């Protein structure tokens, strides 16, 4: 890839910052714009590369294609915030088809939080505009000397000054960029947390969506890149457009009809059910049930602070919440422009902290969206700090004020300290792994992370396959890297290796289920589609195959389609292995029993070893966690000098 940048990429820019990109006439594939935009902030050069059909066929788009460029484009040992570090923003072949969920896109690179493979996903309206502007993906490299933002529209790209935007909150950035450009561009931006290179910072999209995980706000901050704005009107060509439109219409109607409760209550609609099943993360994962779950439920949110429901481009579900509230007693104001809390945020600032105040949760969500912070990581870091305070390992002198479970004011105060890198917040902003090492003692035993990424708001001791996924997911403690056991309590999916219904507390058959569904999730994030529309039976796998072939004309077989997911997953694992990183472990907390179900609500070391050994065998990984050369060759991944 370095050779490609030096030779194959066509140099377009001069010493100016305003460039008209000559069209490469590269749209020789159906389903793709056909080009990748490359912006070097160090040299202020803008170049473009033709998306090769062989790469599109092999990696599809999104996360798998991003893994290809990361493996080929950066060498091992590069610091995530260094000039040579790259960011890849990618769409997929189903982007712009109109099928519900097509508006997702990904960012990937080397995470400043974990030092390994990182990726994040978001919806909204940015992705279709990027593809319609003429590009399937954007690669950012280099470091600017001054704050900049990038403006992309119909074969046109500019690097513009962001001096006046630096230090501003994300919604203000979007508003000012739109005013400057005189058009309703879609904008992704970092807030002050990203500018300060806080490792748990993120990238905010459309003011209230987030490329939430892996700390990529810090990477943009290091590059002095405040925002990217896009607006496009290019038409994408499809292999069989009339049949594609017909099938999209049929599928969209069914998805909307089958998700009425989801539309009504949003992602937080699962809070009460998870608590009843003892799998709602509570008190820093010490418990699985929250006595006040009703107070933070999706139903309560609808009855109290919901203003309206929002949706992503062409989606017939509409799960997005928009809230508003003012609490004079607390001095908290939550406005509509930052949306509202999703389930992960409700749990991470609610049950995980023993906090039953929805206004406080909504305020925490707004702070995270303003400053650009990962709500999952922030909540887990605060939970860790409260438990450390409870054990006497942190004091009021260390923090500046007392910490206790359920204290909404202390939670908000500590969150603001994290967002501004103030006092002990500067330590927590580096992640729970770092904070536990800083405190020392036995603090690491209640630092709940996998591979350095704070674990998401899904309790694995009541769905043990998920525990295996947390340990083996390439970016760390990720809840969307596989299916959850609970789905297979009542369902099967032979194409994903599940031919019989499963006991969520059992480890039998979980290794194969996790491996196969991890691959399928990578496939979904390469298409790229929202998991709410293409997983768990909302859209069938044969329907996905049909849509891909109608869009691209690649005429994949089912085996070829599913192998793209496996190829992408293993390439990401190769990225980590190349960095000398193999750490397929669970946090210590999940080897402790849940008090609600102490007899079976625990992942014993023996159970975990059984699952991991079987997983390695299925994956083609040796006993030391290294991918076997035979598997690398089988997947066509032996061209990276690995």
Ramachandran assignment for 331, one of left (phi > 0), alpha (psi -120 to 50 degrees), beta (any other): left
Residues of the chain with CATH 3.60.9.10: 2-231
φ, ψ for residue 87 (rounded to 5)? -120, 140
Query: How many angstroms separate the CA atoms of 513 and 500, rounded?
Result: 11
Query: How many angstroms separate the CA atoms of 116 and 110, rounded?
Result: 5
**412: nearest Cα among 365, 351, 354:** 365
Q: Structure tokens of 251?
A: 């599928």
Half-sphere exposure of 205 (CA within 13 A, CB side): 24
Q: Are strands 320-323 and 332-334 parallel, antiparallel or unpaired?
A: unpaired
**265: nearest Cα among 232, 239, 304:** 304
Q: What angle do CA 363, 268, 355 make, to 5 degrees?
A: 50
CATH top class, domain 269-454: mainly alpha
pLDDT per 10-residue tile (average), the chain, 642 residues:
32 40 60 98 97 98 98 94 98 97 97 98 98 98 99 97 99 98 98 99 97 98 99 97 98 92 94 98 99 98 96 94 87 92 98 98 98 99 99 98 98 98 98 98 98 98 99 98 97 96 98 98 97 85 98 98 99 97 97 98 99 99 98 96 80
Q: What angle do CA 67, 69, 70 make, to 5 degrees?
A: 65
Query: How many angstroms separate the CA atoms of 365 and 209, rounded?
Result: 11
Peptide bond into 168 cis (omega under 30): no
Q: Structure tokens of 385?
A: 């700090």
**136: nearest Cα among 37, 8, 28:** 37
pLDDT confidence of residue 226: 99
Q: What are 565-601's pLDDT values in tens digits? A: 999 999 999 999 999 999 999 999 999 999 999 999 9
- Architecture of the domain whose range is 460-634: Orthogonal Bundle (1.10)
pTM of the model: 0.95
Three-class SS of 459-487: CHHHCHHHHHHHHHCCCCCCCCCCCCHHH
* Burial category of 83 from C-beta neighbours within 10 Å (exposed 0-12, middle 13-18, buried 19 and up): middle
- Residues with Cβ < 8 Å from 399, sequence gap 6 or more? 385, 389, 414, 423, 424
Query: How many angstroms separate the CA atoms of 215 and 222, rounded?
Result: 11
Q: What is the DSSP letter of 420?
A: T
What are the CA-CA distances from residue 114 to residues 24, 208, 360, 472, 575 (Å)? 38, 25, 29, 14, 13
Q: What are 384-439's pLDDT values in tens digits? A: 999 999 999 999 999 999 999 999 999 999 999 999 999 999 999 999 999 999 99
Query: How many angstroms separate the CA atoms of 113 and 132, rounded?
Result: 32
Beta bridge partners of 88: 108, 139
Beta bridge partners of 7: none
Beta bridge partners of 156: 20, 153
Beta bridge partners of 627: 621
Residues of the chain with CATH 1.10.569.10: 269-454
Beta bridge partners of 49: 36
Query: How many angstroms separate the CA atoms of 609 and 162, rounded?
Result: 51
Residues of the chain with CATH 1.10.599.10: 460-634
Query: How many angstroms separate the CA atoms of 633 and 628, rounded?
Result: 9
Q: Structure tokens of 357?
A: 């105040």
For residue 59, the surrounding DSSP H or E stretch is helix 53-59
> DSSP secondary structure string, 248-288?
HHHHHHHHHHTTHHHHHH-GGGGHHHHHHTT-S-BTTTTBS
Check if the beta carbon of residue 216 is closer than 8 Å to that of residue 87: yes
The CATH number corresponding to 2-231 among 1.10.10.10, 1.10.260.40, 3.40.1360.10, 3.60.9.10 equals 3.60.9.10
| Location of structure tokens 């939670």 | 411
Average pLDDT, the chain: 95
Q: What are 426-461's pLDDT values in tens digits? A: 999 999 999 999 999 999 999 999 999 999 999 999
């Amino acid at each position: 890839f370095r050779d490609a940048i030096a030779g194959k990429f066509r140099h377009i820019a001069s010493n100016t910052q305003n460039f008209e990109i000559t069209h490469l006439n590269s749209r020789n594939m159906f389903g793709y714009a056909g080009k990748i935009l490359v912006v070097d902030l160090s040299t202020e050069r803008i170049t473009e590369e033709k998306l090769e059909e062989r790469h599109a066929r092999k990696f599809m788009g999104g996360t798998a294609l991003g893994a290809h460029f990361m493996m080929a484009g950066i060498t091992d040992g590069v610091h995530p915030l260094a000039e040579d570090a790259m960011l890849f923003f990618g769409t997929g072949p189903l982007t712009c088809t109109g099928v519900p969920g097509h508006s997702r896109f990904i960012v990937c690179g080397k995470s400043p939080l974990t030092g390994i493979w990182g990726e994040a996903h978001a919806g909204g309206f940015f992705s279709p505009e990027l593809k319609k502007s003429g590009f399937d993906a954007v690669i950012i490299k280099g470091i600017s000397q001054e704050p900049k933002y990038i403006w992309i529209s119909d074969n046109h790209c500019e690097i513009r000054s962001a001096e006046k935007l630096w230090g501003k909150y994300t919604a203000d950035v979007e508003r000012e960029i739109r005013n400057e450009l005189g058009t309703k561009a879609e904008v992704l931006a970092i807030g002050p947390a990203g500018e300060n290179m806080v490792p748990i910072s993120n990238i905010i999209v459309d003011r209230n969506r987030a490329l939430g995980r892996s700390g990529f706000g810090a990477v943009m901050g290091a590059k002095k890149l405040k925002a990217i704005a896009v607006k496009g009107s290019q038409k994408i060509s499809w292999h069989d457009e009339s049949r594609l439109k017909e099938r999209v219409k049929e599928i969209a109607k069914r998805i909307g009809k089958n998700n009425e409760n989801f539309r009504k209550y949003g992602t937080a609609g699962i809070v009460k059910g998870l608590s009843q099943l003892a799998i709602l993360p509570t008190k820093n994962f010490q418990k699985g049930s929250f006595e006040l779950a009703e107070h933070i439920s999706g139903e309560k949110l609808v009855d109290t602070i919901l203003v309206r429901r929002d949706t992503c481009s062409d989606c017939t579900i509409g799960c997005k919440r928009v809230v508003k509230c003012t609490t004079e007693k607390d001095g908290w104001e939550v406005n509509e422009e930052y949306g509202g809390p999703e389930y992960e945020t409700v749990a991470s600032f609610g049950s995980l902290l023993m906090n039953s105040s929805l206004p406080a949760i909504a305020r925490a969500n707004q702070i995270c969206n303003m400053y650009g912070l990962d709500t999952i990581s922030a909540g887990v870091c605060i939970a860790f700090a409260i438990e450390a305070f409870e054990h006497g390992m942190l004091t009021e002198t260390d923090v500046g004020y007392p910490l206790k479970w359920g204290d909404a004011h202390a939670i908000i105060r500590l969150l603001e300290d994290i967002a501004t890198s103030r006092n002990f917040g500067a330590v927590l902003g580096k992640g729970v792994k770092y904070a536990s090492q800083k405190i020392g003692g036995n603090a690491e035993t209640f630092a709940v992370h996998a591979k350095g990424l704070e674990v998401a708001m899904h309790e694995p001791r009541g769905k043990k396959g998920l525990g295996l996924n947390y340990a083996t997911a390439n970016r760390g403690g990720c809840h969307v890297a596989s299916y959850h056991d609970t789905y297979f309590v009542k369902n099967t999916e032979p194409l994903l290796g599940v031919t019989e219904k499963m006991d969520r507390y059992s480890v039998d058959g979980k290794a194969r289920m996790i491996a196969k569904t991890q691959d399928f999730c990578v496939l979904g994030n390469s298409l790229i589609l929202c998991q709410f529309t293409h997983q768990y039976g909302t859209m069938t796998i044969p329907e996905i195959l049909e849509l891909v072939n109608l869009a691209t004309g690649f005429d994949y077989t089912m085996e070829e389609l599913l192998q793209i997911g496996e190829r992408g997953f293993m390439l990401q694992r190769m990225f980590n292995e190349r960095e000398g990183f193999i750490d397929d472990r669970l946090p210590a907390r999940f080897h402790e029993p849940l008090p609600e179900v102490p007899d079976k609500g625990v992942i014993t070391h023996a159970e975990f070893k059984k699952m991991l050994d079987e997983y390695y065998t299925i994956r083609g990984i040796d006993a030391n966690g290294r991918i076997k050369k035979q598997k690398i060759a089988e997947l066509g991944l032996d061209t990276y000098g690995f």
